[in-house]
Amino acid sequence: MSAHTASLVNAIILITIGGWGYFESGSPTSLIPVFIGAVLVLLNKGIKNQNKVIAHIAVLVTLLGFALIMPLMRAMEDGRTDAVLRILIMLSSTIYAMVFFIKSFIDARRK
């Protein structure tokens, strides 16, 4: 899988699961992953065209997804298993996308 596909999958997961979290909890902070996902969708064409600047911006935006660790800790403390599951899915997709970004950067460096 290419970096742009992994990033798009991550964006769709962040938008979908973040929206689900918002409608479940009503908390506006649940929309943060939705915003991150929307930005990644907008950057996807540049990633696909191998624009280095846009790819690096997308990596920085993807790194913002790791901010979900704090809500994960709070959800675990509160015993909200549904929230824990949602956040784990979003974190997993973010890690997945980061692996493909790193792989694409390594491949580009080798060339």
User: In whole angstroms, what is the distance from residue 80 CA to residue 40 CA?
Assistant: 28
Per-residue pLDDT of the chain (111 residues; tens, 9 = 90+): 788 899 999 999 999 999 998 998 888 888 889 999 999 999 999 888 888 899 889 999 988 888 878 888 888 888 888 888 998 999 999 999 999 988 988 887 887
User: φ and ψ at 18, to 5 degrees?
Assistant: -65, -40
